[in-house]
Structure 1
Amino acid sequence: MADDHPILLERQGDVAWLKLNIPQRLNPLAQPLQVAMREQLAVLREDRSVRALVITGMGKAFCVGADLGSMRPPSDQSLGEQTADAMEALSNRLIEDIRSLPFPVVSAVNGPCAGAGVGVALAADIVVAAQSAYFYLPFMPRLGIVPDLGSTWFLQRSAGRARAVGLSLLGERLPAKQALDWGLIWACVEDAELAEQAQALAQRLAQLPAHAAHEIRRTYDHAESASLQEQLHYEASRQRELIDRPEFAEGVSAFLEKREPKFPPR
């Protein structure tokens, strides 16, 4: 894929790397980048040799959010109407694409992660960040708008309402180390080790049963609104189906034989 393409797609074994590639502008979510990203995610979804994905940014930043400089209202709509329509047709679907992939997703946050870029990063199953990285929500204090692309959904569930509201109102930068302390991300690593650590993490995830990401996402999403009794019932209903699958039989055999389980690909 050409280096001037807004998205770069690379492979390291059964792990795919999807890289936002407008480094000279710190990887804004320009429309061509979003379109290209959705196209590549669609390709990966159908590629049964892919067992995990890493999303990261080229250059010094992960993603600085919306491409504000390109926002121009058409003659027949207000800018707000145009933006909302574009979100429904493209940006929101990008987040849904990431969340519905049939394999685990890692965000490797290599630098500043701001605005709508926060939603992209947190849409992954696991987030690992470089020590120099930070998360920044300038929406309300700088622009008078609410955080979007799922940022409010992810932040409140990971860091809690008080911290999510504080970040959204104050617009303070959240360093990667503090994001780890708050439970927003999985790990904070040395900058020079980010790619290696992300690949190692994705490689571990690639060895999981093929249905792992889908089942775990769905189980914790259900738990968000369920009572304890409802969640206990849900867990039992999933075990009713999953224990009869060959992955469980392989896991039991591996346990008894004191070896690592070997699960088939998708």
Structure 2
Amino acid sequence: MALSTIRFTVEDGVGTLALNRPSVMNALNRQMRHEITQMLIALPDEVRCAVLTGIGRGFCCGQDLTDGATGADLEALLRDEYEPMLRAICDCPAPVIAAVNGVAAGAGANLALSADVVIATESASFIQAFTRIGLIPDAGGTWIMPRAVGMARAMGMMLFAEPVTARQAEEWGLIWQALPDDVFAAAAADRAQALAKGPTGAFIAIRQALATSFGNSLEAQLAVEAQLQGQAGQSHDFAEGVAAFLEKRRPVFTGH
């Protein structure tokens, strides 16, 4: 697939999708949404961890307002272009890390927050900027935010549209980790490598279990755990993990 708005590379099991419109802070246009969606759907089999990041001084400033958004049918835009992109992240066959290298605003913030794990540089910030142009948060923001930080913080972020620093986002539980700028790239790469070498099936099962937990009773969630654990117990990676434990060596997981 020819790419014009993202840069895709694979190294040691890590597939990196780098948003590549730095002159406009990686604003999301139709082509970029299509490329992100298609690359995540068609990840090469060798990719066992996907990383979303940005090229330039920002991660993503949100919707490109010059890309036909003003006056458009925003309901159709979200349904036809944003929803498939977000589903591709949530259904990705490999764990997804958002390595947020700078400002993540509007739909760009919620794009990052839809990843399994979010790691940000300390100079980054997250902004629910929608009310600045008379809109409500979208791209999954109204679902993600209250579950991550609670109703009061979610409401404040959305009403006031003020930046939340990466360090504050970490303290609130909005993201996994905020790192000093000088170690961010190397540390994010190490985290991606750790996932790429891990038991991929177990990682995806964890995602599935957590996704159901908010809507389930304890009894229902125990049933989900039993089902997913039963599947994991049949995997090669489980057999390898037990063997490595008994043999006092590091396991070599294959993702199967």
Q: Which residue of the partner structure matches residue 154 of structure 1? A: 144
Q: Structure 2 CA distance, aligned partners of 1:72 and 1:243? A: 48
Report the Cα distance in structure 2 between the residues aligned to 1:225 and 1:168, rounded to whole angstroms.
24
1:238-249 correspondence runs (5 A): 238-249=228-239
Contact persistence 1:57–1:110 (CA under 8 A):
yes
Structure 2 distance, partners of 1:241, 1:72, is 44
Name the CA distance, whole Å, in 2 between partners of 1:70 and 1:13.
Answer: 36
Residue from 68, 72, 79 that aligns with 2:65: 68
TM-score (norm 1): 0.91
Q: 2:95·2:200 contact (CA, 8 Å) conserved in 1? A: no
2:249 maps to a residue whose letter is R
SS at 2:138's partner residue? coil
Q: Is the 8 A contact 2:125 2:166 kept in 1?
A: yes
How many residue pairs match? The answer is: 256
**Residues 39-87 of structure 1: CA deviation (Å, up to 9, x unaligned):** 222331xx111111111011000000011123366xxxxx35x222122
Q: Secondary structure at the match of 1:231?
A: helix
In structure 1, how many angstroms separate the alpha carbons of the residues matched to 2:159 and 2:105? 14
Q: For residues 41 and 227 of structure 2, what CA distance do their matches in structure 1 show?
A: 30
Counterpart in the other structure of 1:90: 81
Find the residue that maps to 2:139 and give its secondary structure.
coil
Superposed counterparts of 1:100-179, under 5 Å: 100-140=91-131, 142-179=132-169
Distance 2:192 2:116 in 1: 11
Residue 113 of structure 1 aligns to a residue in which SS? strand
- Matched to 2:57, the amino acid is K
What corresponds to 1:251 in structure 2? 241
Alpha-carbon separation, structure 1, partners of 2:119 and 2:39: 22
Question: 2:32 maps to which residue?
Answer: 33
SS in 1 for 2:119: strand
Query: Does the 8 Å CA contact 1:102/1:213 hold for their aligned counterparts?
Result: no
TM-score by length of 2: 0.94
- TM-aligned CA deviation for residue 172 of structure 1: 1.2
Return the letter of the residue paired with 2:154. A
Distance verdict in 2 for CA 1:70–1:242, change over 3 Å: closer
Write the distance in 1 (CA, Å) between the matches of 2:243 and 2:121.
39
- Aligned-partner Cα distance in 1 for 2:21–2:138: 21
1:76 aligns with none
- The CA RMSD over aligned residues, in Å, is 1.8
Q: Which runs of 5+ in 2 are unaligned?
A: none
Deviates more, 1:237-246 or 1:142-151: 237-246
Matched, 1:226 2:223: no
Taking structure 1 as reference, are residues 238 and 94 closer, same or farther at Cα in structure 2, changes over 3 Å only? same
Any residues of structure 2 matched to 1:192-203 within 5 Å, and which?
192-203=182-193
Between 1:242-251 and 1:54-63, the stretch displaced more is 242-251
C-alpha separation in 1, matches of 2:27 and 2:198 = 33
Deviation at 1:126, TM superposition (A): 0.6
* Compared CA separation, residues 66 and 174, structure 1 to 2 (3 A): same
Q: Secondary structure at the match of 1:59?
A: coil
How much has 1:193 moved relative to structure 2?
A: 1.9
User: What's the % identity of the aligned pairs?
Assistant: 39
Q: Aligned in 2, Cα 1:174/1:243: closer, same or farther, shift over 3 Å?
A: same
- In structure 1, runs of 5+ residues without a counterpart are 74-78
CA contact (8 A) 2:30 2:67 kept: no
